[in-house]
A and B are shown apart, each in its own frame.
Chain A
Amino acid sequence: MKRICLLCIAVVVLCANGCITPFEPEGMAGYKKMLVVEGNIILGGITTVSLAYSMDLDDDGKIVYVQDANVRVESESGSVYEAVKVVEDGVVSYQADMSDAGLDDRYRLYLVVKGKDYESDFVPVKVAPPIDTVAYMVTGDSTEVEFYVNSRDRTNSTRYYMWSYTEAWEFNPRIYSEFRYDPFSKEIFGIADYENRFNCWQNSKSTAVLIATTDFLDEDVVYRKKLNSIGRYENRINYLYSMELTQYALTREAYLYWENIKKNSDDIGGIFSPQPSEMSGNIRCVSDSDEYVIGYISATVPSKKRIFAYSSDIGIYKYPYDCFSEIIGNDYFLRDSLYHMGMDVILYEPDTGESHWAPKRCVDCTIFGTKEKPTYWPNNHQ
């Protein structure tokens, strides 16, 4: 059930300059590194496990992955699924094909890292029911749109849900330009359609812990579980937004583990916040019982659903920038000045040499995204 925010009164009102101020506790660096095991055993698909180490709080370097590990999934009945190392965009993972693994078995993860053995508990397979709907709702004041999921398990056996999503969006700047300025030659050229700076795409993944339980409900129904919220000025709802939601079914223990992570991240620091505390996962170091390993492995058959939402249907998008334009004559020096001021060319009269310029952010979508269109995209924009 939703926690009631009791505090907001006291906290916000009584501070003229804000009650929440940045603060860095001292002397917290140098805690020992712990192995972090993340991933789910995915039945009927590819199990992807990533192994990394914990970091100091003020560390803003990259994630340190375990490069050389032996990873396998074992079933209680004795089957073994070896994982192979895959490196993609600097992300190291270990993947095992489990397309033909049976659902009635129980599974565990087994790792060998730097000569030490780690294993998880055997966990049962939880099959996620199909996702009912993924839809959106505009907030009362029309400043935000919230995407939510509805789900239902008619057998009333799922009860503990988790979701993650990938999202992608196509967006356009205010002004379509058919021209391009070349800063070296200081010339302006016409461009082909496919070179446009008007259609761009961007993508992202969920970062929040998205879980819900229907334990206290009469039916196993997830109703309007909020997945994200997008403000009216965000590119994500500029033209076309897409979300692919993956739904997992969890055991009660796994749910409690994730809930604790969520509490420790999101609910800390308020007046009525609970004391943070750590909950052990289901992975342990066999070779060294004192070593603490972070992570909880579940076995699941996820369900997925992709939706698209057009900005025109959502209806709240507002373009955030002021897009004025400047007209200059055939003057290389002025072109160069405008270019270096962050302007981009939008119109060019080759006959007179006169050109129109507007702020780059109003013209060039590659500032905020790329021209890489997802393969599943439902239009022929380029």
Chain B
Amino acid sequence: MKKLLLLLSFIVLFKVVQAQEYDRNNLILKNISLDSLSKIVKRNSGYNLYFGSAVDSLAVSLECNVMDLLDSLPLVLGRYGYGLSTIGYDIIALKGSGLIAGLPDGYFKDGAVVAPTQGVPELISANTESDNRAENKANAQIMNDELVYSLKGAVLSAESTQKIRSTQIGLERVRIDRIKHVPAAFGEADVMKVVLTLPGVKSVGESSGGFNVRGGATDQNLILFNEGTLYNPTHLFGLFSAFNPDVVSDIELYKSTIPAKYGGRISSVLEINSKNGNNKKISGSAGIGLLTGKIHLEGPLGGEKTTFIAGLRTTYSNWILKLLPEDSGYNNGTASFNDFTLGVNHKFDDKNYLYLNGYYSSDGFNFNKDTAYNYSNLNWSVKWRHVMNDNHNLALSAGFDEYNHKSSETGDSVNAYGMNFRIRQAFLKANFSWFLNNEHSLNYGINSVFYNLSPGETFPAASGSLVIPRSLERENGAELSLYLSDTWNIADRFSLDLGLRYSFYSALGPKHWFSYKGSIKDESSVLDTLYAKPGSFVKPYHGPEFRLSARYSLNDNMSVKVGFNSMRQYIHMLSNTTAVSPTDVWKLSDANIEPQNGWQSAAGLYSNIFGNRVEFSAEGYFRKMDNYLDYKSGAILNMNETIERDVLRTEGRAFGVEFLAKKPFGKLNGWISYTYSKTQLRDNGENGVYTINRGEWYNASYDKPHDVKIIGNYKFTQRFSISFNLDYASGRPVTIPVVKYYYGGGYRLYYSERNSYRIPDYFRMDFSINIEPSHNLRLLTYSTITIGVYNLTGRKNAFSVYYDTNSGKRIQGYKLSIFGAPIPYVTYNIKF
């Protein structure tokens, strides 16, 4: 039955191809060898196609538009009994329906279309029938090699069975071509905003930089760009993300089963992977939108062994400030931002690869000439991948990450001040993967991170300023983690992922701190002032983290999984705002601030229906977190030496169910998700004294129980498609006043229960038309135009509600919307 469906779809596809007979982009491959197919795929998509058990004599035929090449692969290779999986940029074709998880890096040698000598995970015995049929073919022929030109960003279909076969729960992966087709504010293809369209991911509102995964706080997400950790990956206060979409390959979000090699955050891991450079020729792209201009280049560097990719994006968004009303006082302001990405790969030989990655982003704003504001991220890393032997691999990486922000206010000379914050970290990671045998593949390694924070300094920013220069004591910390995980295929139907990570952490001297009597920390309970010498431990913390999951396949198209994972986090963002603000500072755990920890258990059902064309999944989870930081009234978060006196230890709990139906390919493609979830927090109190809601559970600011997302794209032709989004969510909880009172000459507001009111529900629709004007290969460039409207209905979604007390006795309520009107946009991109 399945084969019939495949065959049917192939016939349909064939018909389409016939109809476009004279299109020069048609690719007609007859009886070509797998080796040739690999090369064609590589050239057209940048993906490496490997065959786990190649049959030299096997030849395949394929007719499609070059745009559809990757779409067609599963169908075509499916006919010959191959199932496809992807690892990074590698597509692995194996006999059977997919690949087991945890295959060592570089297990398949670059370019080799041969089976490794041992340990090939043959999941299903070879389908002799189709092989025999294939053997009858001869005369490998590529109709016209020159027809197939570089096309990046085609849809990859190889993962259609991965969700079912892997032990991963709560893993979402989105390719950049999909991201580029999602309409976004100002038409900027936005990596982070697409994350928000995934089930289980929420934010407090549009234009807020952070995101919340399954009830986690915004500082509990580990955001990795290549190897580097990003602390604030947004531009323009969170309006869009700081990644150039032309150098990004895909994103992966781990919501539940977090691989043991990752740690340091208790909620999720978001991995953003950049592309590898084209190793044949120099190519690139450029684009302009309403706010930004961008360019990227890639290609070989003196031979095929070394490639580079570089991207630059910058803004001309000053016009936005000019649109501000004159009386706002801000229309003299300027805003600028840019980001730069660089990747260089070098292949020494088949066993040694080197990867260099660099990233820099910066934002600067000036309001009224005397208020300036800057922040920047800097990351660089180097990774050496070494194939130790056929079964054993090593990836060794080292790098450096920095995030800093600066602000200054020079309006009057006496109070003119500047304020700086900086976080630096250096890391060294050794990750091994060991393909022990067909049943066990191990990942193990050691990760270390050294933190150095300059938690704040203020200084006079003009001559005549009386501001006292102040600098908080530097914070240092070291985190060392060891991990081991085993992907254990007990049977074809049943596999386990058993991971254990053990992390040690301590703040390091030199450091001064107070010790307190009892749990109440204030001036009166200070016992002693303590000091740790340079390099010595302030207070060590350590503990195990468990990463466990199990998968049982009910049949080829359906599996169930369960998982449990626990996490520890030694760095905290200090913020009492609901949205992530670029003035937020971070703090390391120390003697008085305990690490955050959390666990999550989850279970899911995964099924591919309609002949693998629609992926369906349902997941449920429950999670707990401890030692999350909230703040006392009047807490001062900047330049506070004794922040421990102002924090409230808070615990959290969350549960939810997520349903996702995804159709990755075809004319109509996209996904629909529905989430029901609940996230609550509770003030743990100090000796029975509660600050927030009497120590009872209250809803977190990002608790939006009902959430429906539809992301869709319909291809009318290869040149013309439309995309649409629909986003509905329950209103988020806010704290609003309950009474007013007259005090100090005016009406004041009294706030009671934290987050007891909900703002109106959120609803938004976006729409865009994507036109690829020319496929003529004789042109040097290839251009794309996107025209779209963000917030089509112009609904004024509330971000917050508040009251104005300045207008006399009657206190007027207001709601604030961020995108309160339809926002049309046009972007133009060329590839060369």
Contacts and interface: CB of A to CB of B under 8 A. Distances in A.
Decide if A and B are genuine partners.
yes
Interface string A43-82: 0000000001111111110010000000000000000000
B69 to A, nearest CB: 40
A295 interface: yes
Given A9-B335, A10-B207, A12-B328, A31 B739 contact: yes
Interface string A143-155: 0000000000000
A223 B237 contact: no
Contact of A278 (B236, B413, B752, B802): B752
Interface stretch (A266-274, A329-337, A349-357): A266-274
A14 B819 contact: yes
Contact of A54 (B208, B417, B750): B750
Given A6-B373, A224-B412, A269 B744 contact: no
B415 A273 contact: no
B578 interface: yes
B745 interface: yes
Residue among A2, A9, A63, A261 with most chain B CB within 10 A:
A9
B467 A19 contact: no
A15 B744 contact: no
A376 interface: no
B633 A277 contact: yes
Interface in B346-369: 365, 367
Contact of B817 (A19, A206, A217): A19
Contact of B634 (A55, A164, A279): A279
A260 B323 contact: no
Contacts of A261: 743-744, 748
Given A259-B634, A274-B577, A14 B409 contact: no
B817 A10 contact: no
B643 interface: no
Given A12-B325, A278-B752, A271 B799 contact: yes
Interface in B184-235: 185, 205, 207-208
A23 B801 contact: yes
Contact of B815 (A21, A58, A216, A270): A21
A10 B741 contact: no
Interface residues of A, number: 76
Interface residues on B, range: 35 or more
Contacts of A257: 634
A276 interface: yes
A314 interface: no
Interface string B560-592: 000000000000000011110111000000000
Interface string B786-827: 000000001010111111011001111111111111010000
A270 B204 CA distance: 12
B757 interface: yes
Given A22-B812, A271-B799, A54 B741 contact: yes
A52 B741 contact: yes
B324 interface: yes
Nearest to A7: B237
A278 B813 contact: no
A58 B821 CA distance: 29
Nearest to B755: A275
B527 interface: no
Interface in A1-52: 1-2, 4-25, 28, 31, 33-34, 36, 38, 52
A4 B373 contact: yes
Contacts of B754: 275, 277
B11 interface: no
B466 interface: yes
A182 interface: no
B469 to A, nearest CB: 9
A7 B367 CA distance: 11
Interface in A304-328: none
B745 A217 contact: no
Interface stretch (B160-168, B447-455, B480-488, B730-738): B730-738
A218 interface: yes
B87 interface: no
A86 interface: no
A36 B414 contact: no
A165 to B, nearest CB: 9
B409 A10 contact: no
A21 B470 CA distance: 42
B760 to A, nearest CB: 8
A23 B820 CA distance: 14
B468 to A, nearest CB: 5
A209 interface: yes
A11 B818 contact: yes
B22 interface: no
B12 interface: no
B601 interface: no
B800 A269 contact: yes
A54 to B, nearest CB: 4
B16 interface: no
Contacts of A5: 330, 367, 371
B48 interface: no
Contact of B745 (A4, A13, A205): A205
A153 B745 CA distance: 26
Contacts of A36: 741-743
B466 A6 contact: no
Contacts of B365: 6, 9
Contacts of B809: 60
Contacts of A6: 237, 365, 373, 581-583
A216 B801 contact: no
B748 to A, nearest CB: 5
B467 A218 contact: yes
B491 interface: no
A34 B739 contact: yes
A366 interface: no
Interface in A240-279: 256-261, 264-265, 268-279
Nearest to B323: A13
Interface centre among B634, B752, B757 (most CB of A within 10 A): B634
B740 interface: yes
Contact of B409 (A1, A38, A209): A1
B634 A256 contact: yes
A233 to B, nearest CB: 13
Interface in B710-738: 735-738
Nearest to B818: A10
Contacts of A23: 798, 801, 813-815
Contact of B466 (A12, A218, A268): A218
A22 B804 CA distance: 10
Interface in B411-465: 411-415, 417, 419, 458
Interface string A270-293: 111111111100000000000000
Interface string B672-701: 000000000000000000011000000001
A38 B744 contact: yes
B686 to A, nearest CB: 14
25 contacts: A2-B411, A5-B367, A9-B335, A13-B324, A14-B823, A15-B796, A15-B817, A15-B819, A19-B796, A31-B738, A38-B743, A55-B739, A57-B739, A164-B744, A207-B806, A221-B466, A223-B415, A257-B634, A258-B744, A259-B634, A260-B634, A268-B802, A275-B754, A276-B749, A278-B751
Interface of A: 1-2, 4-25, 28, 31, 33-34, 36, 38, 52-60, 63, 164, 205-209, 214, 216-219, 221, 223-224, 256-261, 264-265, 268-279, 294-295
Given A54-B750, A207-B746, 12 more contacts: A8-B330, A12-B324, A21-B815, A25-B813, A57-B740, A164-B745, A216-B639, A223-B412, A271-B207, A272-B237, A294-B750, A295-B743
For the complex of A and B, 10 pairs with smallest distance between CB atoms: A269-B802, A223-B414, A207-B746, A15-B820, A23-B815, A16-B821, A279-B633, A31-B738, A54-B741, A54-B739
